[in-house]
Amino acid sequence: MEKSPPAISSSSEESRDISLHNVLVAHGLGLAPDGSFVRWLEKNPRHPRNWSTPRKFYDLIVIHFCDFFVTVASSAGTAAAKAAHVEFGISETMAIFCFVSVSLMGQVLGSLILSSYSETFGRKRLYVLSTAIFSIGCIIIPAVPSLAAVVIGRWVTGFVSSIPANVLTGSLEDMYNSQDRLWWMCMIAVASNLGLVLGPLFGVYITTDLGWRWLFYIMAIITGILAGLCMFIRESRPALVLAHELSLFRQTTGLDTPPPLNPDHSPDFRTFARTTLLRPIQLYTEPIVCCVALMNSTTFGLIYLFSDALLPIYENMGFAQPQASLPFIAMAIGVILSLGMRLIDRVIIRRRINSGRTLLPEHKLTGLCIGTPMLAISLWWFGWTIPPRIQGLHWMVPTLPLVLLGFALNEFLTVMLGYLADSYLCYAASGLAAVALLRGVFSAVFPLFAGHMFSSLGANVATSVLASLATVYCFIPPLFVRYGPQIRARSRFAKHSLRTHEATCIDKDQFVTVAN
């Protein structure tokens, strides 16, 4: 009769697997169904989605303010350019290129590289390093009396400024499910858009009262403080936190385990560059990403264009130079008023969940369906209530549509970027980076032709050109609502992201990312 050592061996291995499983469960971890990976258990308090509310609140508020202030610094550059161009002996357009466009070009490259880096190697170190380097760059710009120092400093600060805006959405997805993300996405958009529209106002008043150099010294002081605050946030990328947890588990128990589930692991830089670094560019093949990038970039470019073109319009209406920047407050009011749309979104989401109906990302597009025509209306209204074609109207008449413009701006950022986060989940940072790439290009180019466009065509016709483009965009949101699920169902990125999300996430998002 033959002996059966394989059965004994199999029984021994099964016993070890059960023992390992029990120890892992005691530490809030578990084995994948096939036993090849270790993953999170739902109630593990160390998973970022189970962190305490104060912990999450501190991290996100600090990152939010980083996003807000680097956006202020970006759009304030036009005021510095107008104040410094005589000192450097260059034209105003060249100064805008050096102080604004160069910064935004750096942001484009940073969006491509650093956002994807965060998905593979983590987020915290990028927040700390980016704010510290930004602060140093802001010291170099005014301290070194050279145009080359301005160009290098603005490029470097632009490069690292891509971190808060792009990686923040990924951090948010790490910590919250889709329902809770709705409000935080709103706060991200409000902070970013307030920074965008208040930056020109901040820049004009600082340069008028203290000079353009102190504009950058103040930026350096504030971002230096933020760098210190970022030291106390936590790494939130779940796959990396899991790898750290498993490393501690092995050290404390001495047990050998399967590797942690980490779909973003890259063994070397070449693999990282091939699979992750180029992901934002690859996402341009996605119709959703392409349309969102075009619409979002146009709207952002408008604000940078107005940072140059708006002041002469109001100066022609009798405003002094600093006061001519005050209409940006109207845009800020519109940004804040758009918060009301989130209440409507909340009602829609709650009704669908309570009735047991499927909740798709497209059900959150109500604000975009309203904001897109509002953008077109605001530009047509503004364009034909200003000089030179229209004379004698009270300044409030062309200022009111700027409130609608601010409303539309916030809806574009809140809804469209939230739509990307819900559609691409764990690749949200790469999706946002793809948007930021094109947004940086538009924002860098728009101020360069703003002055020539408005002087050659006239403010009325020039604004009408922009309004015509906004009118074309009105057709896109209904197409998203009607065909979005089918588009995502055919998307290899959306499907892979959903599978990765289901494998690494520990709670339910309460919506379906890819229609079945």
Three state DSSP letters for 235-286: CCCHHHHHHHHHHHHHHHHCCCCCCECCCCCCCCHHHHHHHHHCHHHHHHHC
Does residue 314 form part of some domain?
A: yes
229 and 320 inside one domain: no
Q: Quote the strand ranges of 42-81, DSSP E.
A: none
Helix (H), strand (E) at residue 39: strand 38-40
98 and 228 inside one domain: yes
Please list, residue by residue across 144-183, b when 16 or more beta carbons sit within 10 angstroms of its beta carbon and e when fewer do: eeebeebbbbbbbbbbbbbbbbbbbbbbbbbbbbbbebbe
320 and 216 inside one domain: no
Residue 11 pLDDT: 56
Cα(491)–Cα(488) distance, integer angstroms: 5
Residue 51 pLDDT: 95
200 and 346 inside one domain: no
Sign (positive or negative) of CA dihedral 461, 463, 469, 473? negative
Residue 514 pLDDT: 43
Q: What is residue 31's three-state secondary structure?
A: strand
Does residue 265 form part of some domain?
A: no
| Cβ-based neighbour number of residue 426 at 10 Å | 25
Q: What is the 3-state secondary structure (H, E, C) of 176-233?
A: CCHHHHHHHHHHHHHHHHHHHHHHHHHHHHHHHHHCHHHHHHHHHHHHHHHHHHHCCC
324, 193, 408, 107 alpha-carbon torsion, rounded to 10°: 100
Closest CA to 68 of 387, 395, 335: 335
Cα(68)–Cα(75) distance, integer angstroms: 11
Does residue 298 form part of some domain?
A: yes
Closest CA to 206 of 192, 193, 190, 222: 222
| Cβ-based neighbour number of residue 467 at 10 Å | 19
Q: What is residue 513's three-state secondary structure?
A: coil
Residues of the chain with pLDDT under 70: 1-18, 115-116, 119, 262-269, 271-277, 429, 500-516
Residue type at 307 in one-letter notation:
S
Residue 351 pLDDT: 87
Beta bridge partners of residue 39, listed in sequence order: 30
CB-based burial label for 418 (10 Å; 0-12, 13-18, 19+): buried
Boundary of a domain, candidates 233, 267, 300: 233
Does residue 203 form part of some domain?
A: yes
The residues near 89 (Cβ < 8 Å, ≥ 6 apart) are none
Cα(57)–Cα(65) distance, integer angstroms: 12
Does residue 22 form part of some domain?
A: no
Give the CATH number for residue 153: 1.20.1250.20
Residue 252 · residue 399 · CB < 8 Å: no
342 and 458 inside one domain: yes
227 and 294 inside one domain: no
293 and 414 inside one domain: yes
Does residue 454 form part of some domain?
A: yes
Closest CA to 382 of 404, 413, 411, 367: 404
360 and 446 inside one domain: yes
Residue 477 · residue 415 · CB < 8 Å: no
**pLDDT tens for each residue of 399-419:** 999 999 999 999 988 888 888
Q: Which domain holds residue 83?
A: 52-233
289 and 228 inside one domain: no
- Tokens at 88, concatenated: 């450097």
304 and 445 inside one domain: yes
Boundary of a domain, candidates 216, 233, 250: 233
Q: What is the distance, to the nearest Å, from the Cα of residue 339 to the centroid of all Cα atoms in its chain?
A: 18
Residue 203 · residue 80 · CB < 8 Å: yes
Side-chain-side CA neighbours of 358 within 13 Å: the count stands at 9
State the DSSP code for 361: G
Cα(328)–Cα(336) distance, integer angstroms: 13
Place of tokens 């949200």: 428
Q: What is the distance, to the nearest Å, from the Cα of residue 7 to the centroid of all Cα atoms in its chain?
A: 56
Boundary of a domain, candidates 233, 260, 295: 233
Residue 275 pLDDT: 59
Residue 328 · residue 198 · CB < 8 Å: yes
295 and 443 inside one domain: yes
Place of tokens 């947890």: 245
Residue 46 · residue 241 · CB < 8 Å: yes
Does residue 340 form part of some domain?
A: yes
Does residue 305 form part of some domain?
A: yes
296 and 208 inside one domain: no
Cα(496)–Cα(233) distance, integer angstroms: 29
In total, how many domains does the chain have? 2
Measure CA of the first residue to CA of the last residue in the chain; give whole Å: 55
Residue type at 322 in one-letter notation:
P
Helix (H), strand (E) at residue 491: none
